[in-house]
Amino acid sequence: MENTIQQPVTKTICYHCGEDCDNDSIETDEKIFCCHGCKTVYEIINQNNLCSYYDIETAPGINQKKAIRSGKFDFLDDAKIKSELIHFKDSEQEHITFYLPQMHCSSCIWILENLKKINPGITRSQVNFIKKDVTIVYDFKKTTLKKVAETLTLIGYEPHISLNNAEGKKVKKTDNSRIVKLGIAGFCFGNIMMLSFPEYFSMGEIEDPKLQQWFNYLNLILSLPVFFYSASEFFVSGYKGLRQKFLNIDAPIALAVLITFLRSVYEILLETGSGYLDSMSGIVFFMLVGRYFQNRTYQNISFDRDFKSYFPLGVSVINSDNTEKQVSVSDLKPGDRIKIHHDEIIPADGILFLGKATIDYSFVTGESLPVEKSIGEIVYAGGKQTTGAIEMEVVKETSQSYLTQLWNNETFKENKEEPKKSFIHSVSRYFTYSLFSVASIAAAYWAINDTSKIWNAVTSVLIVACPCALLLSATFTNGNMIRILNKYKFFVKNESVIERMESIDTVVFDKTGTITEQTQSEIHFEGNPLNQEQNRIIRSLAGQSNHPLSRHILSCLPFDKTLPVKSYEEIKGQGTTATIAGSLVKIGSAQFVTGSNHFSSSRGSRIFVSINDEFLGCFVIQNNYRKNLREIISALKNQFQLKILSGDNASEEPFLKTVFGNQTEMLFNQKPEDKLRVIKKLQQRKRKVLMIGDGLNDAGALKQSDVGIAISDNTNTFSPACDAILSGKNFILLNELIRYCRKQKQIIYSSFVLSVVYNLVGLYFAVQGDLKPVIAAILMPASSVSIVLLTTGMSAFYELKLKRMNLTKVSFSPDTHHS
């Protein structure tokens, strides 16, 4: 039997944030709020006549139950820190860009671009919704950087400021060169086609030869920027490949462009024809379109974050006169006494000086339960303090801390084997060999039969059989797949990640934060239902300890008065005991409470309870596993070998065996270097490994694996260096996303077959030395458009199952956290 705590019934929702209101007495202007924080934000917005914020979206605000500590942004008054963050300053204004992870809807954009009505010192604010940041221009004579941050926080958009913001503050200039090349190629291609229409419709017989020659010269002038500027990247890439004795796909494309241009110049200058400048400019234009379409996804996602994205920028240092001063984390030195507040990250290794420390190291080690530290013990950087404020004495600078050393460990910097070149390059190499063979055969044939046709036949073969269709197949397939994956919050670093998915045969999972939810564990009581007096006694004893498991018990039991506790004793690693209301109470391990370890295995951590040596039962603490975990794993284990590598303890192993099966190898208490070692051993056995993790302790393994996917509940905040980022909310689609990526080759090969058909038609005319410009002008765009339509259609077709799964699972699936 289980003794569970019933949740209150929801009656109303908050006007500001839309969350359930436990108490509907917080009311103003006939509107109900879930907390005083939401009410305060509403009043600020209302006072500044910005209530249209609530008209654009229903309940668009951010919940304000978690109060913001006073003085949190004092470090922004520090001149050094400020100079590191500001990216522009003149005599009247300063520019700052803040990352706001809370931004989620059009109401957010509207309120953030009207900040000047709330803070008169702000002159302008501009939102980049995709990047979730806002650039603010403010008059530093009327307001300060600290007040700007406080203004954002007051309305529910607390800026995320980390050490990485200071070290990488410079705004990256966008490389627009490809866009310029694309624009020039498109403009010239369109005009060359327009000037060639008279020749197309007259089949090359324009009545006025001078007019035709003028059109030809105009086409030649328009082709020059296409050939010398827009097509330059193909020549550079092809040349670099040849220097390395590698024939990439850009080499035959560059050759086709070169031959087409030279023959066209030859014909126009000698007035023997009009050339194929329309085809040449079309090749370049469509190639650039494909590459731009493929690569445009990556600019807003960072796949190479490091630990500095996780660290705060400022920290409170306690001076000798007990006053606090905000300093930059990078300026901390041994001997500094620092104050860490509730829910703040510890930025440097130190010795606990004052307060009760309960440190959450789940992101660093994978251990799901917080670690309790006593005064005098060392506390390592990277953990999060979860119980009030503590004071520490720094023993190592941030750059020398355990976490920094872990990240900078040479073991994690060893480069994995260079991945094989894309199969596209291999196909293009055989294509090029075949192309030269056909050209050689045509040359040999006409050398025997009609030498005047050798030049026309050879150049026509090289022009019409350009491998641009093959490159278009790859670029548009990858571009479409990346766009579709992006819709489902699966962001890949580049197209090679999709290609490597096809060879994966082993999937390795981290546990904490990966297959479990990044939320508080669930707790319930197994045994006879506890009465009110027993609840009161157990709660009184649990309240004496600061151990994480005791705090879990406190959160489970109903609030009641605390009884006097006598003879309290806490035995490390075993449990606590005391006399309460005349009864001897014990809470702890089975051996400590009952004198025996012979209890049936149960999922989760178990805390046993007895009163007067009468065993009452046990509290069971369980992780919240992600939705439909059983279904996801069942589908994956039919295709891949599965493994679990966890930094957590093995308390959940029996349950995980029921999900993954007894044949799945599960390794617990794994340090970061242990995980890396396991991945390397698998690769030495010729396994192709997909690693799925979420924390710093997974960084080395993610980097070493053939494909590393970081699970993140916020794709714009910290995640370790990886090949792809998957939103935690869409973990439920993992199997379908992998399956979709593995369709890449099938789509590319299908479109390649279509391109071969067009090439055969073109070669029929080319080998005869009778390729008319109008035929080339028809074949080139027709093949390109057909391939674009085919790749788009097949990508959309294979997405249908993914879309169905998304609708049924993500949008409408019931809560099945416990699988």
Q: Are residues 512 and 651 in the same domain?
A: yes
pLDDT per residue as tens digits for the range 766-800: 778 776 666 766 777 777 778 888 888 888 888 88
Structure tokens at 519: 């939320």
Angle at which helix 250-269 crosses helix 209-225, to 10 degrees, equals 150
Q: CA nearest 652: which of 606, 721, 589, 710?
A: 606
Structure tokens at 22: 């436990």
- The rounded distance, in Å, linking the Cα atoms of 747 and 815 is 36
Domain with 677, as residue range(s), is 503-517+626-741
Side chain identity at residue 139, one-letter code: D
Residue 283: what pLDDT?
81
The 3-class secondary structure across 499-548, one letter per residue, is HHHCCCCEEEECCCCCCECCCCCEEEEEECCCCHHHHHHHHHHHCCCCCH
Task: Choose one of 741, 765, 788: the last residue of a domain.
Answer: 741
- The rounded distance, in Å, linking the Cα atoms of 461 and 768 is 10
pLDDT per residue as tens digits for the range 188-197: 998 988 888 7
| DSSP label of 26 | -
Side chain identity at residue 667, one-letter code: L
In angstroms, the first-to-last Cα distance of the chain is 20
Distance of CA 560 to the CA centre of its chain: 44
DSSP H stretches of helix in 314-422: 362-365, 402-408, 410-413
Question: Percent of the chain, pLDDT > 70?
Answer: 79
Q: Are residues 241 and 289 in the same domain?
A: yes
User: Interior CA angle at 74 toward 69 and 75, to 5°?
Assistant: 120
Q: Are residues 11 and 36 in the same domain?
A: yes
153 assigned to some structural domain: yes
pLDDT per residue as tens digits for the range 237-273: 888 878 877 777 777 788 888 888 988 898 888 888 7
Structure tokens at 19: 């969350």
Q: Are residues 184 and 290 in the same domain?
A: yes
530 assigned to some structural domain: yes
Q: Are residues 449 and 510 in the same domain?
A: no
- The residue that leads in pLDDT, 480 or 416, is 480
Question: Percent of the chain, pLDDT > 90?
Answer: 10
713 assigned to some structural domain: yes
Task: Choose one of 591, 622, 653: the last residue of a domain.
Answer: 622
Backbone angles phi, psi at 75, to 5 degrees: -65, -20
Structure tokens at 702: 């993610």
Tell whether the model's pLDDT for residue 680 goes beyond 60: yes
86 assigned to some structural domain: yes
- The rounded distance, in Å, linking the Cα atoms of 691 and 332 is 35
468 assigned to some structural domain: yes
Distance of CA 548 to the CA centre of its chain: 31
- Listed in sequence order, the residues at least 6 apart from 9 whose beta carbon sits closer than 8 Å to its beta carbon are none
- The residue that leads in pLDDT, 240 or 813, is 240
Q: Are residues 633 and 700 in the same domain?
A: yes
Biggest CA–CA distance in the chain, Å, is 117
Residue 582 CA: distances (Å) to CA of 537, 561, 565, 799: 10, 16, 10, 67
69 assigned to some structural domain: no
Tell whether the model's pLDDT for residue 305 goes beyond 70: no
778 assigned to some structural domain: yes
Structure tokens at 328: 């930059």
Q: Are residues 632 and 731 in the same domain?
A: yes
Q: Are residues 729 and 755 in the same domain?
A: no
- The residue that leads in pLDDT, 322 or 718, is 322
Burial of 498-519, coded b for 16+ CB within 10 Å and e otherwise, reads bbbbeebebbbbbbbbbbbbbe
pLDDT per residue as tens digits for the range 115-140: 888 888 999 888 887 677 888 999 98
pLDDT per residue as tens digits for the range 16-46: 777 777 655 678 887 888 777 787 788 878 8
Q: Are residues 289 and 318 in the same domain?
A: no
Tell whether the model's pLDDT for residue 814 goes beyond 70: no
- The rounded distance, in Å, linking the Cα atoms of 453 and 593 is 99
Q: Are residues 130 and 183 in the same domain?
A: no
Tell whether the model's pLDDT for residue 738 goes beyond 50: yes
Side chain identity at residue 250, one-letter code: D
- Residue in the structure block whose two tokens are 């409170």: 316
Task: Choose one of 590, 622, 654: the last residue of a domain.
Answer: 622
Angle at which helix 773-805 crosses helix 454-464, to 10 degrees, equals 20
383 assigned to some structural domain: yes
Residue 589: what pLDDT?
85
Residue 156: what pLDDT?
79
- The rounded distance, in Å, linking the Cα atoms of 198 and 192 is 11
- The rounded distance, in Å, linking the Cα atoms of 265 and 230 is 18
Any idea what the CATH number is for the domain that residue 529 is in?
A: 3.40.1110.10
For the chain, the domain total comes to: 6
- Residue in the structure block whose two tokens are 């391990």: 589
Residue 811: what pLDDT?
45
Any idea what the CATH number is for the domain that residue 106 is in?
A: 3.30.70.100
Tell whether the model's pLDDT for residue 720 goes beyond 60: no
| DSSP label of 369 | S
Residue 223: what pLDDT?
92
Tell whether the model's pLDDT for residue 409 goes beyond 60: no
Q: Are residues 701 and 777 in the same domain?
A: no
- The rounded distance, in Å, linking the Cα atoms of 448 and 503 is 49
Q: Are residues 160 and 184 in the same domain?
A: no
